[in-house]
Amino acid sequence: MSCGHEHYEEFFETAKVGQPVRDFTLETFDPAEGGFGSVSLEEIKKQGKWTILVFYPADFTFVCPTELADLAEKHAELVKLGAEVLSVSTDTKFVHMAWKNDERLLKNVKFQMAADPNGEVSRYFDVWDPESGLDLRGTFIISPDGVLVGSEVNFFNVGRNADELVRKMQANVHLRAHPAEACPAKWEPGQKTLTPSEKLVGKVAEALGK
């Protein structure tokens, strides 16, 4: 009875913001190399990189190529910030390859396209929709230490903005180097941050020079 309960808890475990992410491995199609491979969170952490997971419903659909094209435009900036970017769906690596080769919107995609056909990783990040068997539009940022620091989930019909993903990454990189600080709304590099303390209570406007 006890073992069954433990198994139940493990099976339904999901990633939570502020908590360590368990290791996972995904097969990939790598457009930059033109071939298949695999990637694991453990390997990315060993390289001292951030991990960005961009889940989407399915290949050969409609909003999805616009999102991946938008992400491709910001890929170089995210790499410069120290991130490994992975797009993820429940399609196979073979379908990823066919879609990349067919869809002109994906011509500039260089990040690895990860396959989660059994939905295991998608379930762990709580983006898998059991009714359709597809992933919701989930974006997750994992620190080089393996801690989930960012989570955003949209329904199937609302596309994301990679500009905001870059901004969030810039803020997370800054805060990793300055852990006593906090970034206010719309913060961008070079702008004022906040240092929480009793002196700041009720005085945020003054601290931001407003």
pLDDT digits (tens, 9 = 90+) for 134-143: 999 999 999 9
- Which pLDDT score, from 0 to 100, does residue 143 have? 98
- Which pLDDT score, from 0 to 100, does residue 6 have? 42
Query: Is 10's pLDDT higher than 90?
Result: no
The continuous run of DSSP H or E covering 94 comes out as helix 93-102
pLDDT, mean of residues 150-171: 98
The continuous run of DSSP H or E covering 51 comes out as strand 50-55
Residue predicted with more confidence, 167 or 13: 167
CA dist 86 and 115 (Å) reads 10
Ramachandran bin of 51, using left for φ above 0, alpha for ψ from -120 to 50, beta for the remaining angles: beta
Q: What is the mean pLDDT of the chain?
A: 94
- Tell how strand 134-135 and strand 128-129 pair up: antiparallel
pLDDT confidence band for 2 (50 / 70 / 90): very low
Domains and CATH numbers, the chain: 2-177 (3.40.30.10), 180-210 (no CATH)
* pTM tops 0.75: yes
pLDDT confidence band for 8 (50 / 70 / 90): very low
Catalytic residues: 64
Query: Is 167's pLDDT higher than 80?
Result: yes
- Which pLDDT score, from 0 to 100, does residue 12 have? 62
What percent of the chain shows pLDDT beyond 70?
94
Radius of gyration of the chain (CA): 19
pLDDT confidence band for 210 (50 / 70 / 90): confident
pLDDT, mean of residues 77-83: 98
pLDDT, mean of residues 58-72: 98
CA dist 101 and 87 (Å) reads 16
pLDDT confidence band for 5 (50 / 70 / 90): very low
Residue 164 CB neighbours (<10 A)? 13
**Residue 119 and residue 90 in contact, taking contact as beta carbons nearer than 8 Å:** yes
Q: Which amino acid is at 37?
A: G
Could you report the per-residue pLDDT of 109-149, keeping only the tens digit for each? 999 999 999 999 999 999 999 999 999 999 999 999 999 99
